[in-house]
Structure 1
Amino acid sequence: MTDANPPDVLESTGQTGESDPPVDDVGSLADAVVDNVETVIVGQDDVIEHVVVAMLGGGHVLLEDVPGVGKTMLARSIARSFDCSFKRVQFTPDLLPADVTGVNMFDKRTNEFEFQPGPLFANVVLGDEINRAPPKTQSALLEAMAEGQVTVDGTTRELPQPYTVIATQNAVEPGRTYELPIAEVDRFMKKLELGYPDAADETELLDRVVGDHPIESLSPVAAAEDLSRARAAVSSVTVERPVREYATALSGYTREHADLGASPRATVALMRAGQARAAFEGRDYVVPDDLKREAPAVLAHRIRAGEAGRSGRDVVADALDTVPVP
């Protein structure tokens, strides 16, 4: 390794220092969270890993699938695995931006306005069925996800750190939902799908939910401070120049072969996810395979292929097959 510092293309997700845990400890933390969630969620090992990697990389996650496959339960299980504040927002057509960010209420006792924080003020926020709310309300998440703050009536307030938004949306009932704005979609580090379990996993699920649901006895295995320190350690994982150039080339390919390709923000997200994946695997440096593993979840949802029958995942798959690996 020749680069002593994190690549300049990255935006730091935290301050590093002597108190940051070594990469081995980050991997141990991730393993503990994954194992904890797997006591509730059956047959979704890869998706669970992807969510944990996104959290280590300081990113937000969008879960899309049909109702009833465990999107909300997965988000709740992840949140319960950390000893941190958690809020859930059930998005509905009549939800207003102030219902999410908070509002200034007049207090007759003090004759002053007092800010009442909304559900965005938590370490982990679950936005359930986000595409049921109109775009104006969805956009209330933009500042929170991008800047870790909200602005209400001209006053900016910092959100608790670490901060993660896990949102779900249904892939059915298009007539009763709103398409997410591209600017909002671009703020999610990853978009994931769960799919139906196979027969063995579904039978195992039935065995687990007989009696009390396993999530009711799920205990935290890490503190919010552990996640903050792990993120700082992840941000110091080394990314050599050839690997950075590979990430740039992948994004460049999507821009040349789609109506709307991956943005520079997407390239940054891919590199952050690669750092987190490396730490998850116990390495303090990123290899091209880390980017290849993360690229479909990080890049595909930001791409508009423009060709009938062709998806963002198809464009990413072609990029991974075509762009030379350093």
Structure 2
Amino acid sequence: MQHRSDVEAADALKQAYQQIRTEIGKVIVGQDEVVKFILISVFSNGHCLLVGVPGLAKTLLVQTVSQVLDLEFNRIQFTPDLMPSDIIGAEILGEDRNFKFIPGPVFSNIILADEINRTPPKTQAALLEAMQEKAVTAAGVTHKLAQPFFVLATQNPIEQEGTYPLPEAQLDRFMFKVSLNYPSFAEEVQVVRNTTSTHKQEVTKHLNAEQIIYFQNLVRNIPVADNVLEYAVKLVAKTRPGGEFAAPNVQRLLNWGAGPRASQYLILGAKCHAVISGKYSPDIEDVQAVAKPILGHRIVRSYHAEAEGLTTDDIIAQLF
């Protein structure tokens, strides 16, 4: 990418974001918040977990994002018999009697990990290592993954029989956990109209791998005021029962609070949210805008919170 001033680069990211949103909107009806958080995770170099009942176009959404971003895309359908080597690849004996590494589907830019909670922990861990290290190890040799690299995983909240829920420590690898809701009546009418005819909507490609890496570096270079940084760290600290900054009700409502990775993602997410909103530096409102999908899967509700019918979003809203 050619060198630009920071203001020009920020404006270019905002314009690219709006173009991508428009293209995705040709295929995906509604789900504006979900699309926003997926794109923020892409530009922040994070991963995203999508949770929703079947039929809400989770897979179609991820496929559409990969098409618009002109990135290599692989879909892995997680099943109970999936092995780690089915994801990362394996060493095989070649015709020359030497072992060689055959890369698995994880060697791509965008990975759709479909129904990640349907596979045993050992296989989940293989993908989560790749997410964290941006590399995989086979037979003692480390193989770097393509850049940029994102995992967009889906999870079905119903039919829990035969599933392996992701432990909190592994959920922490995802920048966002986003819930997809049922469409409104008008949106569902539009979905049915679009999907029951022969017309297929084509999308235009925007941004290649090099441009995305450029924008990821731009997001990291955005300045942030000390008061915004301290607000984000204090917001996370409020979720920790028994901590110095614990909110008044937290001891009773939470068993466990968020760790330092939440603070890092709050600032990265706020920086990106600020730029796509037309600002050149994040403020407290930007931190709050990304807080729920960042903190929601990093806090564990107590029996009292569940008995009172309080969701994690309710508890986070009390912290603002």
Decide whether aligned partners of structure 1 residues 213 and 129 sit closer, same or farther in structure 2, where only a CA change above 3 A counts: farther
The residue type equivalent to 2:128 in the other structure is L
Report the counterpart of residue 166 of structure 2 in structure 1.
180
Q: CA deviation at 1:71?
A: 1.0
Matched, 1:99 2:86: yes
Alignment partner of 2:288 out of 292, 303, 308:
292
Structure 1 CA distance for aligned equivalents of residues 189 and 81 of structure 2: 38
Relative contact order higher in (CA < 8 Å, ≥ 6 apart): 1
Report the counterpart of residue 7 of structure 1 in structure 2.
none
- The 5 A counterparts of 1:268-287 are 268-287=264-283
SS of alignment partner, residue 62 of structure 1 = strand
Structure 2 CA distance for aligned equivalents of residues 221 and 314 of structure 1: 37
Report the counterpart of residue 245 of structure 1 in structure 2.
230
Matched, 1:152 2:148: no
Report the counterpart of residue 13 of structure 1 in structure 2.
none
Report the counterpart of residue 24 of structure 2 in structure 1.
37
Q: CA deviation at 1:206?
A: 1.5
Query: Unaligned regions of 5+ residues in structure 2, if any?
Result: 242-249
Contact kept? 1:101, 1:140, Cα under 8 Å: yes
SS of alignment partner, residue 173 of structure 1 = coil
Report the counterpart of residue 82 of structure 1 in structure 2.
69
Contact kept? 1:86, 1:122, Cα under 8 Å: yes
The residue type equivalent to 1:136 in the other structure is K
TM-score (norm 1): 0.89
Contact kept? 1:302, 1:312, Cα under 8 Å: no
Q: CA deviation at 1:66?
A: 0.7
Contact kept? 1:254, 1:315, Cα under 8 Å: no
Report the counterpart of residue 40 of structure 2 in structure 1.
53
How many corresponding residue pairs? 304
1:123-164 deviations in Å (ceiling 9; x for gaps): 111000110001111111222111211111211111100111
Structure 1 CA distance for aligned equivalents of residues 70 and 198 of structure 2: 22
TM-score (norm 2): 0.91
Q: Structure 1 runs of 4+ off > 6 angstroms?
A: none
The residue type equivalent to 1:227 in the other structure is I
The residue type equivalent to 2:33 in the other structure is D
The residue type equivalent to 1:171 in the other structure is P
Range with greater deviation from structure 2 (287-296 or 40-49): 40-49
The residue type equivalent to 2:313 in the other structure is R
Percentage of pairs with the same residue: 37
1:269-303 deviations in Å (ceiling 9; x for gaps): 11111111112112221110000000001111111
